[in-house]
Amino acid sequence: MACKPGIVTRIGMYPSLNGDVRSQCTDMPEIDSVATTHYTAPTDTLHHFADRPCAMLSEFELISRFFTRPAHSAILGIGDDCALLAASAGTQLAISTDMLVSGIHFFADTPPEPLGHKSLAVNLSDLAAMGAAPRAFTLALSLPSPSADWLTSFSAGLFALADRHHCELIGGDTTRGPLNICITVFGEVPANKALRRDQAQAGDDIWVSGTLGDARLALEALQGKILIAPDTLAPALARLYTPTPRVALGIALRDIAHSAIDLSDGLKGDITHIMNRSQLGACIMMDELPPGTLLSSQPRAYQYHCMLSGGDDYELCFTAPPSRRAAVEAVARQTDTPLTCIGYMTQQPGLRLIDANGKETYLADTSFDHFATP
């Protein structure tokens, strides 16, 4: 669908849904000519934006105005060919990249402030899943046309979260193209203390943080797949737009958990990654799954669908030996994070879902896979 510049036709951030990407806007809201008239760049600084149709920011004005801040923990930040970062003694660097693509992970007219938050949050969530402390990140940004208003809001959302986690922006790349946000995060973890997917052991408890499924509920409400009164949707929308990366929890679990993963594609698929990497099976007690605030008033079957197959929760799922239950509960109190034991790892391969009557049940839903055939 063609989108009239400057008119927001739809709000909502749409994470990947198999075969379910709707028609979308591909244009950014038009540039605010008042805000940008004084940013007409000399021609020798025009690179990727050389074909700009009207008064717009040059590539380097854009970087310096919206993304350059003094380096604190980095030896050298934005402005050179590389940033320089010194790893602390006795630590290993944890590095992860996540890309958010317009029309795949969100609609182009998604409000920019939560989009800035979410772009970094999904990356910090990966650090959390490894028990790593955030240090720095880079931002590769492709924009159809640089709008000062959009960039102001986007960078506000991005830096608010970055500052909360003392994670500094140390570089990136900026180009004209379809809206695409790619962040690489750098974290630190004491040598050999990282929480990996391949270290689960048979008999480990499986735990999840927070609640599951409200992000999926919000998505399906925005899509019109389920009817929810708009004035009650806010808490679920917050889960979809502005997920909370469980950084403190991941760090606190370093010496307790055997393995961990963050829940981005749905519990059913994400626990399978731990199973496969650890060459084990898992048994999940469906009745123990903690539904989100809004989801808990929905029919049980729908709750299971959202909790097991809905993505975008960005909670942590981890395994720990039953002997460490008291330690896990202490971490829950210390980090003020609800933690729920939802099952256990098994020597027997495969995922078994056990219902309230103790019967094994089957859920046809699968987690999201970008390349799965519909």
Which residues of this chain interact with ligand ADP, rule CB under 6 A?
63, 67, 78-81, 139, 141, 169, 171-174
Which of 163, 173, 255, 369 lies at the binding interface for Mg ion (CB under 5 A)? Answer: 173
Which helix (H) or strand (E) covers residue 345, if one does?
Answer: strand 339-346
Nearer to ligand ADP, 79 or 349 (CB): 79
Nearer to Mg ion, 173 or 369 (CB): 173
Nearer to ligand ADP, 173 or 329 (CB): 173
Place of tokens 């004491």: 190
215: nearest Cα among 61, 56, 36, 368: 368
Q: Measured from the CB of residue 168, what is the shortest distance to ligand ADP in angstroms?
A: 10
Q: Is 149 helix (H, G, I), strand (E, B) or coil?
A: helix
Nearer to ligand ADP, 65 or 325 (CB): 65
Determine how many CB atoms are found less than 10 A away from the CB of residue 355: 14
Where are the extended beta strands (E) located within 215-291? 259-262, 281-285
Q: Measured from the CB of residue 176, what is the shortest distance to Mg ion in angstroms?
A: 13
Which of Mg ion, ligand ADP, none does 80 bind, CB closer than 5 to 8 A by kind?
ligand ADP
Angle of helix 214-222 versus helix 300-309 axis, rounded to 10: 100
Q: Measured from the CB of residue 148, what is the shortest distance to ligand ADP in angstroms?
A: 15
285: nearest Cα among 366, 344, 338: 344
Q: Measured from the CB of residue 82, what is the shortest distance to ligand ADP in angstroms?
A: 8
Work out whether the CA dihedral 355, 358, 361, 363 comes out positive or negative.
positive
- How far is CA 39 from its chain centroid? 33
Which of Mg ion, ligand ADP, none does 336 bind, CB closer than 5 to 8 A by kind?
none
Nearer to ligand ADP, 69 or 273 (CB): 69
Q: Measured from the CB of residue 119, what is the shortest distance to ligand ADP in angstroms?
A: 11
Footprint of Mg ion on residues 252-271 (CB under 5 A)?
none
Q: How many residues does the chain have?
A: 374
Cβ(260)–Cβ(129) under 8 Å?
Answer: yes
Which of ligand ADP, Mg ion, none does 151 bind, CB closer than 5 to 8 A by kind?
none
